[in-house]
Every structure is written in C-alpha cells, then in structure tokens.
Amino acid sequence: MQSGGDFSNGFHGDQHRELELEDKQVPGLSSFGRAKRRSHAGARDPRGGLANVLRVSDQLGEQKSLETSESSPPPCTDFDVAYFHSYAHVGIHEEMIKDRARTETYREAIMQHQSLIQGKVVVDVGCGTGILSIFCAQAGAKRVYAVDASDIAVQAKEVVKANGLSEKVIVLHGRVEDVEIDEEVDVIISEWMGYMLLYESMLGSVITARDRWLKPGGLILPSHATLYMAPVSHPDRYSHSIDFWRNVYGIDMSAMMQLAKQCAFEEPSVESISGENVLTWPEVVKHIDCQTIKIQELDSVTARYKFNSMMRAPMHGFAFWFDVEFSGPTSLPAKNTSETSVASGSSSISPSGEVNQKKRTNPSDALVLSTSPEAPPTHWQQTIVYFYDPIDVEQDQVIEGSVTLSQSKENRRFMNIHLEYSSAGRSFVKESVMR
C-alpha cells in the first residue's frame, strides 16, 4: 500500500484515527452478509466428464499450440475452489438473470452486433447457466464455446440440450486458462464485472481468452469499462447504524457506538444510493479498453482525485460505480472523462439528482450499461467506503487525495482499498479489504 508523506492515519494534530484494516484476517462475508456474485471461468479441474467438453490440460506447464499470454496461468488455490463451488448455487444465477438492466442490455448488445456474430465462433467466458451463449446462438453464431469452472456447467449443458442447441453451444467445464479450443474465435462475450468493477478478478480470464484465441480485430463484449468515484453524504445510513445507540428504549448505549462504527464501516458496503447523496461530479478511477488492457495492469490501480463540494453537508465516505460499453471493433474508444454513461448517451450525475444527457462523440451511440446512482437499479448497486466519522464540508470546499485498488495477497479475488483524502487542512487514510 502507498502512503504519502503528508498523510497520517487520522487528523493532523487530532486524536481521531481511522482504524487500519490492511492485512487483517477476517474470514467470511462483510458485516452485511453480502453474497458473492460473479460467475467466472476459472479455477479448478472439472469433476466428471461432459459430452461436449474439449480436452483440458492435465499439466500446468504444458505448452499451448496457440499464442498465449506471456505469464503462466495463476495456480488453482483453495480460495478458488471454494469460490467456484459457491457459484454452483442457483440463487446467485437467479439474481443475475432477474437483473433486467443487466440481462436485457447484454441481449440488446448481441442483437446490435448480430452482423459480427452471425456465422462466427464465440467464446462465453464464465457462462454460468449459459444464457448469453444461447443469446449468441439465437443471433446466428456458428459455434459458441461456453466456459465455466463451476459445477453450474453441468446445468448449463442441460439447458443447452433442452433448447436444441447442443450442436452449436459446446459447454467446457474448466478454467479458461486450462481448457483447449482448437480454433481461433471471432467474438468474446463475458459478464465479468464484480462489485466496484474489479472485485473478484474475473477480467483476467477475459484477457487470457483474448490472448489465446481472439482473431485480430475480433469483437469483445463489453468493449470498454469505466470505474467512477465521488464523495457522498448519507446521514440516514449513519443515523440508522450509529446514532441508534445513543438512546435505546431510554437507555444510554453510546458506549456501543465505537464498536458499531467498526462493525458497520470496516468493510466496503454494497448498497443503493441516489443522486441526492452525491456531493460532487464523479471522477474516473480507471478506464479499461478490453482490446488492449494487460493482466499486469489489474494488480494495482491508483488514481488521484480533486473534488469541489457542490453543497454544505456531512461527508460520510466515497461511492464507487461503473459503466460498461458495447462497441464494435471499429468504433472509437470511450472517452476517458468524469461523465457517467447511461443508455445510448452519456450523462453526468448531479448532486441535485438530475441527469444531464450528452451525445457521445461516437456517431453509433454505443450501448452502455451503467450502475450509477441515477441509472436503473442493478444487482451491483453502488459500493460505499464509509468513514468512521463524517467530515463536515462547505460548498465549494476542495476534497482531494488518491485511491489505490490492489489485489489482495491473501486471496487475489479480494481487493485492498487504500484511500488518502484531505480537506480543510486535515488529512486521513482509510484502508479496508473487500472480501
């Protein structure tokens, strides 16, 4: 983790300190019992044979016949085994499929790019139940390789069979890093995004699939992704979790407040907020072009930010959300700005709750799936990194600092979050782990 020389773990000259959470071993889920959400084409040898499975490498060091990434595939860990086992549960897939903004946007993106999919070979990375693979087959794909390491691949094969697509959709039960496909592909599709975009590290498998199989100029859906952040005020949430303890049935329980803060705000919180909670225009943390990004770029992402508060309010933390864009290979790349894209245009979130539409520079008006506070709700919601104590800010007050997101050494699917922020002459550091 990085730490600037001008920052301390609390106020300068003050007794208040943000608790340091980096490298703390806390098993299990967050204090809100957040269910892990992301089906990923990765991490263990398949158990049991499937009729439509191509061969899987038995040796980690086996040389591939096609071009591969420079680095060796990451080894399968116990964390990976447990992670993929969790995605055999139908509830996670039900939640994702019932997210209409997510599922219908993917289907629309497939149909918008039907001319690039029809008669072509597709790889679906982290296929889950196989719904995106079937959408591609319905769009006229010549062949679809549906890859998933979870045992949900068994059900995916049955779903494919029930829809009469067994000759077209080939289910591969194994890691993208390990399975073999003996041809180049024209299209890669994947719903790889985790909370805060990068949580659970699935994008690495999409990159691996791209480097192993995608033809030059091939299509990747989604094509671009952008992670945003903004300071937020959320007094209702703070009151509900913390101020509650001041008076409990007439009993002073304020002695519980410090523990309540740690339990409520130690880890990032996945929840829904509105544009009214956002204090400033958002800033870009990371813009991703799926055609060019390298796996090494995902190890650690650092961005500096400078906000100007648009109102007087208590600042309770920072919110993070993301957009993904579905552009064809000849489209102009998404512009790296602090504007949030929704639907077929781009928008900026106003703290007053308004959405200011702007036409994209891309004349094709690329389809965008947004998880911003002003977009239609999704199961990703927004991710909030709360402070243990709010900071009062005035209108036009500057809030600046940096954020570093890095893969945890404990488990690469976890994400370390290191926030440095200062305002009105006071500086802070907040560190947490998204597990």
Residues with catalytic roles: 191, 200
Contact in structure between 403 and 302 (CB atoms under 8 Å) = yes
Is residue 282 a contact partner of residue 349, using CB atoms and an 8 Å limit? yes
Please name every residue paired with 173 in a beta bridge, in sequence order, or none if there are none: 148
361: which 2 tokens?
A: 């520079």
Backbone angles phi, psi at 311, to 5 degrees: -160, 165
